[in-house]
Amino acid sequence: MIHIANSNERHKVSRGPFTSRFLPLGRTIPDANDHGIAQIGRLEHAILEGGALVPMHLHQNEEILSYIRKGTMHHKDSDGNDIPILNKHLMLMNAGSGIQHEEGVREGDETVEMLQIFIRPKADNLKPKVQFYEPDVINSRNKWRLLAGHEQSEAPMLFRSEVLFYDLHLQEGNIIQSPKLQGLTGFMYLFSGSVTIEDHTEMVGEGDQVIIKDEQLILKANEDSNIVFFVLDESAPYSRNGLYTK
């Protein structure tokens, strides 16, 4: 069973050089009353132009993954980090009991395109920390790559929540199966490109999202496509006390 939400259903928020698009994820499922889905509180597809700055602000009880595909964002936080974040230097901020940070793009720098992913933690007021990871390659061509996962996983960045996060660069004409769910729930987002879900004869494009239950999809790239995929455990505990994870 799958539920597809098209990109034109997303909400758009613009503040000068900063633009964000997001969709209340769970509301793509009939009769659901949650703007998120399981451990995902919110997923924002953001564009930050040169000169964009989100001033120092507080996050609590959220796990925030900054997944950048283009450009360089500068991050500063209350843990003393002052560092560039880009597609070869990723960041997961486990806010826990509280972290303050700011982020921005320097004037004249390349426009940043990214996903800001807000994950609901397993409990409130966990110890705050910030993780960084430098992948071996920028794009994982035609193979799912595990970038972040729960504490029992082998992922290089860890959520304090029952989530697995994969990415993939599927080249035109290539076919791949979605990650195995083993009774769990899948969530797929098309960052760019276009793929056909072969077993459903459905085409999904940039900004479209798919919720998957009880099956494994066969995906064929109609053009070079960047895809992210989450495996979620809806039966596991999670907190909804973060600003973007309520």
Q: What structural domains and CATH numbers belong to the chain?
A: 2-232 (2.60.120.10)
Please, what is the average pLDDT of the chain? 94
Question: How far is it, in rounded angstroms, from Cα 198 to Cα 216?
Answer: 11
Does the pLDDT of residue 218 top 90, yes or no? yes
Q: Is residue 240 very low, low, confident or very high in pLDDT (cuts 50, 70, 90)? A: very high
Q: List, for residues 98-150, the tens digit of each pLDDT value.
A: 999 999 999 999 999 999 999 999 999 999 999 999 999 999 999 999 999 99
3-state helix, strand, coil in the chain (%, to 5): 5, 50, 45
User: What is the mean predicted confidence (pLDDT) over 209-226?
Assistant: 96
Q: Is residue 30 very low, low, confident or very high in pLDDT (cuts 50, 70, 90)? A: low
Q: Is residue 5 very low, low, confident or very high in pLDDT (cuts 50, 70, 90)? A: confident
User: What is the mean predicted confidence (pLDDT) over 43-50?
Assistant: 96
Q: Which two tokens stand for residue 19?
A: 């633009």
- Residue 35: the pLDDT is 78
Q: Cβ distance 97 to 126 under 8 Å?
A: yes
- Residue 136: the pLDDT is 96
Question: How far is it, in rounded angstroms, from Cα 68 to Cα 73?
Answer: 8
Q: 86 to each of 62, 71, 133, 159, 166, how far by Cα in Å? A: 21, 6, 10, 20, 17
- Residue 34: the pLDDT is 77
User: What is the mean predicted confidence (pLDDT) over 171-189?
Assistant: 97
The closest of 6, 9, 10 to 20, measured between CA atoms, is 10
Q: Any idea which residue has 């496509």 for tokens?
A: 225
Q: Is residue 245 very low, low, confident or very high in pLDDT (cuts 50, 70, 90)? A: confident
- Residue 233: the pLDDT is 97
Does the pLDDT of residue 32 top 80, yes or no? no
Question: How far is it, in rounded angstroms, from Cα 76 to Cα 12?
Answer: 26
Q: Cβ distance 160 to 131 under 8 Å?
A: no
Does the pLDDT of residue 200 top 90, yes or no? no
- Residue 31: the pLDDT is 61
Q: List, for residues 68-83, the tens digit of each pLDDT value.
A: 999 999 999 999 999 9
